[in-house]
Structure 1
Amino acid sequence: MAGPHLAPTTGNAVPNVDDTDLGGLLADLRGVHAGIELILDGLRLIAHDRHSIDRTQTLIATLAGNADCDLITAIAHTVQRLASADTNPALRTLPLDQQKQVQRHGEQAVFDLTDPYHHQQASEACAAIDGI
């Protein structure tokens, strides 16, 4: 039987990400915060795990294929939350005009990152798995 049910051998092994752009990013982002470490560990697990066709499609959609409900959108809303003095008390020590500037950029980030255009190629990858 073809697919994820093949016995793991050198010929069908999932390649390590360490010497790739992804591996470099995962290494570069280490040490920022425990929450980021968890995200990086999750991405590394996803990249190294064996997946079925269905799981691959679901993961692509969940990571970046749906501007209404994917990790990019969740990250965008987290950025917006961190950029607002209403939800991040650390910013309350900044002058009011600076707080408003930070908040404006956070709002623009969520607007930009949730633009369906930025999710289109991941969505197309999901459709291509179905032969659409």
Structure 2
Amino acid sequence: MAGPFDHDAPLAAADVHTADNAVPPLDEDLAGCLDDLAGVHPGIDLIRDGYRLLATDRLDTDQTQTILATLAGSPGADVTTLLALLVQRLTNPDSNPCLRALDPDAQKTVKHLGQVHAFETAAFATRPYEPVAEASAAIDGI
């Protein structure tokens, strides 16, 4: 059975062509992930709404290329980088005052782990950019 990240799984005809070329509904994995994040915080709900709109909106090829680059195809100017920077900010007592209530060792640990996340995201991020950038180029026939 093909999983959500099975790169060798063939696309079914229903995945490409739908009645009247309509945008199909969300698949169970994406819908379930969006549902699991409901109610965490109003900011997360706004992000969920944006992701749902991106997944279900009728896009043209120019919009699709731009969105792909914005999500994970343009190092330093994409959602992947934005997420890493937000995690780093939220784990830093200097920018998230609620962490100042922690003892100093816990503050250092939380801040360090946020920095590790940002570093590892930046290191890993160079890998996902290439396929997304290539997908964007393929849409334009480059």
Q: Normalising by structure 1, what TM-score?
A: 0.87
- For 2:45 and 2:96, locate their aligned partners in 1 and report how far apart those are by CA, in whole Å: 21
Equivalent residue for 1:13?
A: 22
Moved over 4 A (4+): none
CA distance in 2, matches of 1:15, 1:67: 30
Q: Does 1:53 align with 2:61?
A: yes
Aligned-residue offset at 1:89: 0.5
Question: Which residue does 1:66 correspond to in 2?
Answer: 74
Q: Which residue is equivalent to 2:91?
A: 83
Q: Match of 2:91, as an amino acid? A: A
Q: Deviations over 1:3-55 (max 9, x none)?
A: xxxxxx823110111x4211110001111000000000011011110111111
Q: How many pairs align?
A: 123
- Structure 1 gaps of 5+ residues are 1-8
Q: Which residue among 114, 125, 132 is the counterpart of 1:122?
A: 132
Calculate percent identity across the aligned residue pairs.
50
Aligned residues: CA RMSD? 1.4
Which stretch shifts more, 23-32 or 105-114? 105-114
What per-residue deviation string (whole Å, max 9, x for no partner) do you get for residues 80-122 of structure 1? 0000001001111111111111111101111122232232222
Paired letter, 2:135: A
Long gaps (5+) in structure 2: 1-17
